[in-house]
Structure 1
Amino acid sequence: MHCSRIRTALSARLDGEEPPPGLTPGRLDDHLAGCRDCRQWEVRARALAAGLGRAAAHPEDDPAAADALLARLRAAAAGPGASGAGTGGKRAG
């Protein structure tokens, strides 16, 4: 199975959506068990979703935290070698 299809399904799962046709939670978990790249992608996607959730919940409480999150997202989008070390320039979703 192609990792891009798995990652689409993982993104849907993170968002509480139905997986694409033909992909069940068991098939996703089976793929993750054998694919280190997709496991790492899922970890990054979960971290991104959690950070966005925190920033969106109360941006007025800590504007600096929201600014820091945006800076990390921009660095990650810039690709390898940017200051967002460990992201590999890949984006979630």
Structure 2
Amino acid sequence: MLCTRIRTALSARLDGEELPPGLTARRLDEHLADCRDCRRWEERSRALATGLRRAAERAEDDDPAAADALLARLRPGSVRPGPVPPGSADSGGKRAG
């Protein structure tokens, strides 16, 4: 199964949306059990969603500094990705699952 399709499904699940047609929660979880890259992607996505939710809550409390801090962290160049080991990037190839 393509990791890009899995990640689309993970995003939907994280947002409380329905999974794409043909994908069940069980198949998604089975893929995650076997795919370290998708597990990492899910962990990062959950952390980002949590951070955004917290920042939005603070911004609702009229804390402009929290909103400014979040925007600064989201600007291009503010997050430097680490090196990608060979074979770990999703090149659109198929994964088991």
Fold shared per TM-score above 0.5: yes
Q: How far apart are residue 27 of structure 1 and its match? A: 0.7
Greater relative contact order (Cα < 8 A, sep 6+): 2
Matched residues, number: 82
How many angstroms does 1:63 deviate by? 2.3
Alpha-carbon separation, structure 1, partners of 2:38 and 2:82: 13
Q: Which runs of 5+ in 1 are unaligned?
A: 89-93
Name whichever structure is richer in helix by fraction.
1
- Give, in whole Å, the separation in 2 of the partners of 1:43 and 1:52: 14
Where structure 2 has 5 or more consecutive residues not aligned to the other structure, the ranges are 84-97
Shift of residue 43 of structure 1?
0.8
Mark the structure with the bigger radius of gyration: 2
Partner Cα separation in structure 2 for residue 2 and residue 87 of structure 1: 23
TM-score computed with the length of structure 2 as normaliser: 0.73
Q: Is the partner of 2:22 in helix, strand or coil?
A: coil
The code of the aligned residue for 1:84 comes to V
Distance in 2 between the 1:15 and 1:66 partners? 21
CA contact (8 A) 2:14 2:46 kept: yes
Task: Let me know the Cα RMSD of the aligned residues.
Answer: 1.9
Q: How far apart, in 2, do the equivalents of 1:36 and 1:85 lie? A: 21
- Contact preservation (8 Å) 1:44, 1:87: no
Selected match of 1:84 from 79, 83, 88: 79
Kindly report which structure 2 residues correspond to 1:3-82, keeping only aligned pairs within 5 A, or say none. 3-59=3-59, 60-74=61-75, 78=76, 82=77
TM-score normalised by length of structure 1: 0.76
